[in-house]
Amino acid sequence: MAETAANIMNVTDKPFVWTRPVAPGLHGTPGAPGVTALWRENLAFATLTVRRGQEAALALAAAREHAVSLPDGPFAAQGKGHQGKGFVCFGTGPGRWLACSEEATDLAGDLAATLGSTATVTAQDDAYVAFDLSGPCVPELLAKLVAIDLDPTVFPAGSVAVTSTAHMGLMLWKLDADRVRLLVGTSLAASFSRTLAASALEYGFRLEAGRGTGRG
């Protein structure tokens, strides 16, 4: 029997059940999953906020030290960090960026060392949890979660949207043609995993836990 919304939500007499994350594995419609989500807590994050009047100096320093052109809008740009470890930064508002790295061990420290005089750099390593989505039904799933036009003609790879879903803040980042990364606040990750599962059950939903990396 296909799993129902009630039993994936594990509605039992256990206390605090709504605060628990969805269990890893295949849920909902059996067969090949329409949506696969990889729960990641092993990414490094740092916010970058330009200091007043330092826009040009920051742009110069970022280009010189990290070979990155800081995007003037909600999209991502590749940069080179300390010891050649790559990072990506994307715009979250005028003069504000979020940098994300799969490789750097001290992203905020690296950026502060080079950009700290023109921007405020804040470590956010434990602030966000990423859900990397893939599968043929991701567009249908996202249509239920956010009220944003995600057609590839207007939201190509590298685009980012800072928005909210089910009253939870959400950053949606199109990594490439097939994958979307969702960033949610760490403290909301369990709740968000339930929103995600409830929305994806009909397509077949597989949750992979790439967590437990020792950070946080």
Partner 1 sequence: MRIPCPYCGPRDSSEFSYLGDAAPTRPDPAAPGAEDAFFDYVYLRDNPAGPLEELWFHASGCRQWLKVLRDTRTHLISGAVFARPKAEVAR
Contact positions vs partner 1 (CB under 8 A): 49-50, 52-53, 55, 73-74, 91-96, 147-149, 161-164, 169
* Min dist. Cβ of residue 53 to partner 1 (A): 8
Task: Provide, rounded to whole angstroms, the least separation between the CB of residue 26 and partner 1.
Answer: 32
C-alpha dist (Å) from residue 97 to 100, 115, 169: 10, 13, 16
The nearest distance, CB 99 to partner 1, in angstroms, is 16
Helix (H, G, I), strand (E, B) or coil at 15: coil
Q: Smallest distance, Å, CB 149 to partner 1? A: 8
Q: Which residue lies nearer to partner 1 by CB, 54 or 186?
A: 54
CB of 5 or CB of 146, closer to partner 1? 146
Kindly tell me which of 105 and 164 has the beta carbon lying closer to partner 1: 164
Specify whether the CB–CB gap between 27 and 202 falls below 8 A. no
Q: Choose between 192 and 203: whose C-beta lies nearer to partner 1.
A: 192
Residue 162: closest CA among 79, 103, 76: 76
Give the integer Cα–Cα distance in Å for 173 and 188: 18
> Measured between alpha carbons, how far is 160 from 145 in angstroms, rounded to an integer?
15
Checking DSSP bridges between strand 205-210 and strand 35-40, what pairing results, if any?
parallel
**Regarding beta strands 76-80 and 44-50, do their DSSP bridges make them parallel or antiparallel, or are they unpaired?**
unpaired
Taking the complex as a whole, the smallest distance from the CB of residue 189 to partner 1 amounts, in Å, to 18
Residue with Cβ nearer partner 1 (36 or 124): 124
